[in-house]
Amino acid sequence: MIKKERAMEHLMDLLAVEGPTGRESKVADAISRKLIDAGCKKAWIKTDDAHKRLGEGFETGNLIVKLPGTVKAPRIMFSAHMDTVPLCKGAVPKIKGNRVVAAGPTGLGGDDRSGCAAMVTLCETLLQNKIPHPPITFLFPIAEENGLHGSRMVRFTDLGNPAMGFNLDGQFPNEIVIGAMSAVRWTAEIKGISTHAGLEPQKGISAGLIASKAMALIAEKGYFGRIVKGSRTGTSNLGTISGGEASNQVMDLCILTGECRSHSPAFLKQIIKVYKDSFDQAVKSVTNDQGQCGKIKWSVISDYNAFKLKKSEPCVKIAAEAVKHTGMEPNPLVMDAGLDANNFNEKGLPTVTLGTGSHKFHQVEEYVDIKEYLFACSVLLNIAERSAASPASA
């Protein structure tokens, strides 16, 4: 039932729409136009007020499309985020062999426009072929790339209270992500003492020196990058550093931001403790000629919490059966990353994540495998049909 030409048209069109995090309105407009052309009524389409509740200058909310069912069955949800990372700004998609790539030195944006396009293709296929289906909510969240904000702010009542979810945000279409890790963001604000770096450097306290010593300590303890401590694993990263005003002034302020992740909440707390202790130790190790130390303000914000679904969960079973029916062997796995599915599962909506053929995301080398993308479109159609008939959905 999937028309390959139309599926590819949707993919190429949406890849060409610029929509970095916080600036997704053009993407929402493009998707809405396509869905109306496919047969959706305008009354089925809305954007919520997530952007207003976030209060960080976002220009639009989550795009929500509620498709009425043709059979009596629990509502299901498909989701794919609209935003892309800054690297994808100005992307021009082109077909090269069996792949879609960026024509210039940018990222492509297949993460997650391939998911958005696959959902548009599914909706069009269902409506134009009058295929029996349950009530379906198509959710296109904003602000996934900088902290899963859109999915965190969405209200389940706005979604029609679906019974299960199928999130699209991965690589291989036979991969069924049934678990993902927790993550926190941290900020270390280091205050030193400013003096003239040439005349009286001994009177100053360099916030930059404290920062460098703290990060060196963390690395020496084995808590930077990929972390393996026996059976416990996690990751950590320093994302940004800012500070200083002039080369002849001892740096009196340095602000660092980063993240820590783990599948184990207890080990995540341990990673965070090592970071905080290392910064405290570094602050005390740097003094001026009067024995003074700097100060540190440390803060941690939870981004999302880990989850792991059982393979017996209906959404997992339906996804696995759909992948197998379409011709591939399902591969349930736990991912070392965060997904919109983290928020859905935390709120009580069992949600798996499927790939749509996007690879090397957040890189200039990013591409969408055409065969895998089309396979994913077929998997979604099978999920919709199976959800209308499967006892697991009743």
How many separate helices (H) and strands (E) can be counted in the chain? 10, 18
Domains, in order of start, for the chain: 4-180+306-393 (3.40.630.10), 183-304 (3.30.70.360)
d(CA 369, CA 376): 11
* Global pTM value: 0.87
Match 């941690």 to its residue by tokens.
300
Task: Tell me the pLDDT of the chain (394 aa) as tens digits.
Answer: 899 999 999 999 999 999 999 999 999 999 999 999 999 999 999 999 999 999 878 999 999 999 999 999 999 999 999 999 999 999 999 999 999 999 999 999 999 999 999 999 999 999 999 999 999 999 999 999 988 999 999 999 999 999 999 999 989 999 999 999 999 999 999 999 999 999 999 999 999 999 999 999 999 999 999 999 999 999 999 999 999 999 999 999 999 999 999 999 999 999 999 999 999 999 999 999 999 999 999 999 988 899 999 999 999 999 999 999 999 999 999 988 889 999 999 999 999 999 999 999 999 999 999 999 999 999 999 999 999 875 443 3
Say if residues 61 and 26 touch (Cβ distance below 8 Å).
Answer: no
Exposure on the CB side of residue 306, measured as CA atoms within 13 A: 16
Match 């060409």 to its residue by tokens.
16
CB atoms within 10 A of CB 373: 26
Helices in the chain by DSSP H: which ranges?
Answer: 4-15, 25-38, 50-54, 110-128, 149-153, 207-220, 265-285, 314-326, 340-346, 370-389
